[in-house]
Amino acid sequence: MILEFERPVKELEARIADLHRLAGPSAELQGEISRLEDALESAKRRIYSNLSPYQRVQVARHPDRPNFRAYRDALADDFYELSGDRAHGEDPAVRGGFARLSRSGHNVMLIGHDKGADVKSRVKGNFGMAHPEGYRKVRRLYELAGRFGMPIVTLVDTPGAFAGRQAEERGQAWAISEDLMALARSPVPVICMVIGEGGSGGALAMCAGDYVGMLENSYLSVIAPEACASIIFRDPGRAAEAAAAMKITARDLKEQKIVDEVLPEPLGGAHNEPDAAIEAVGETLGLVLSELSDVDPQTLMKTRYERYRRIGAHAAAGQDPALS
């Protein structure tokens, strides 16, 4: 899939490839080729360093963007998957289990939304939109991690919790709320990384912890920009405006002190160079885990309490906003 704003880059790449084919071993076209390569490099820089918030949302949704599976396979040398909510069923939209991180050697509870690898697995995982049994499995794993003193690492990548009849019948709201309560009282470090889409409550259920990092082109939002546009502007076509107005990019959220760190992506976005993006996440996880693993449960919970307690855009009448 080629995004609209990527087209000039893709066209240049295609022409360079053509010329390489035509030129063969001869040096005749080398001048033209290197001229185009320079043009390609500067086009990439120009385009990708000036992405609008909504263009970043499109990058975050790119089907080739590395997702939970890619991170799990690259970062864990053992992933011992655990399934089921012990009440209703197993939801493949979200996966979790014990993982040994190969880079740092840490044992963690690794949990992530699973957007799948191909059409079949994408459909099976409901495109990363979990049902209540998914969130209840997650709560079970949060508690398991707490029992074994194992840090929790979440990889967040969902358009949102699923909005459907059965999800409502089984208490979607109740399940998400239980996750938030479980995270609040977890005695182990909770490390959250938004690797793609951070859609609303379905993302937050796995994105409230002691450290929250975001890849440069990921987003975190209270509502999908399209839905916001159709409610507020009465026109889903104005999603780009809504995305800008709600300030949902990684950099915006760093500024709002809601996330700790923005992880730069390779030029052209994580889907252009998945290995580099995964490596960056792996390295950060190792550092954060080392930093937090010696912190005692009381301090962790107290710091987490204060972290979420202070977030807000409110003021006592006639005063400056009470932001820390």
Among 1, 120, 317, 324, binds other proteins (CB under 8 A): 317
For residue 192, the surrounding DSSP H or E stretch is strand 190-199
Binding status of residue 237 toward other proteins by CB under 8 A: no
Binding status of residue 240 toward other proteins by CB under 8 A: no
Number of residues that bind other proteins (CB under 8 A): 55
In degrees and rounded to multiples of 5, residue 226 shows phi and psi of -65, -45
Q: Which CB atom, from 123 or from 163, has the smaller least distance to other proteins? A: 163
What gap in Å lies between CA 324 and CA 318, rounded to an integer? 17
Q: Which CB atom, from 95 or from 170, has the smaller least distance to other proteins? A: 170
Q: Which CB atom, from 140 or from 170, has the smaller least distance to other proteins? A: 170
Binding status of residue 311 toward other proteins by CB under 8 A: yes
For residue 40, the surrounding DSSP H or E stretch is helix 30-48
What gap in Å lies between CA 69 and CA 94, rounded to an integer? 11
Q: What residues pair up with 149 in beta bridges, in sequence order? A: none
Residue with tokens 């009465």: 234
Work out how close the CB of 151 gets to other proteins at its nearest, in angstroms, rounded to a whole number.
19
Among 24, 25, 31, 321, binds other proteins (CB under 8 A): 321
Binding status of residue 234 toward other proteins by CB under 8 A: no
What gap in Å lies between CA 124 and CA 130, rounded to an integer? 11
The Cβ-side half-sphere exposure at 309, using a 13 Å CA radius, reads 7
| Interface stretch with other proteins, choices 3-11, 187-195, 250-258, 269-277 (CB under 8 A) | 250-258
> Hey, what are 74's tokens?
């690259």
Work out how close the CB of 117 gets to other proteins at its nearest, in angstroms, rounded to a whole number.
24
Among 36, 253, 270, 288, binds other proteins (CB under 8 A): 253
CA 310 distance to own-chain centroid: 23
Torsion on CA atoms 284, 290, 294, 299, rounded to nearest 10: -10
| Interface stretch with other proteins, choices 19-27, 106-114, 248-256, 289-297 (CB under 8 A) | 248-256
Touching other proteins, residues 172-231 (CB under 8 A): 172-174, 176-178, 180-181, 183-185, 200-201, 204-205, 208, 220-223, 227-228, 231
Q: What is the DSSP string of 229-280?
A: HHHHSS-GGGHHHHHHHHT-BHHHHHHTTSSSEEEPPPTT-GGGSHHHHHHH
Among 247, 268, 279, 297, binds other proteins (CB under 8 A): 247
Work out how close the CB of 274 gets to other proteins at its nearest, in angstroms, rounded to a whole number.
27
CB 227 within 8 A of CB 239: no
CB 102 within 8 A of CB 77: yes
Q: Which CB atom, from 117 or from 180, has the smaller least distance to other proteins? A: 180
Binding status of residue 55 toward other proteins by CB under 8 A: no
> Hey, what are 131's tokens?
């049902």
Give the number of other CB atoms < 10 A from CB of residue 223. 17
Binding status of residue 21 toward other proteins by CB under 8 A: no
Work out how close the CB of 161 gets to other proteins at its nearest, in angstroms, rounded to a whole number.
7
> Hey, what are 48's tokens?
């990708």
Build a one-symbol-per-residue string for 158-177: x at contacts with other proteins by CB under 8 A, - elsewhere.
---x-xxx-xxxxxxxx-xx
Q: Which residues bind other proteins (CB under 8 A)?
A: 161, 163-165, 167-174, 176-178, 180-181, 183-185, 200-201, 204-205, 208, 220-223, 227-228, 231-232, 245-248, 252-253, 256, 258, 304-305, 308-309, 311-317, 321-323
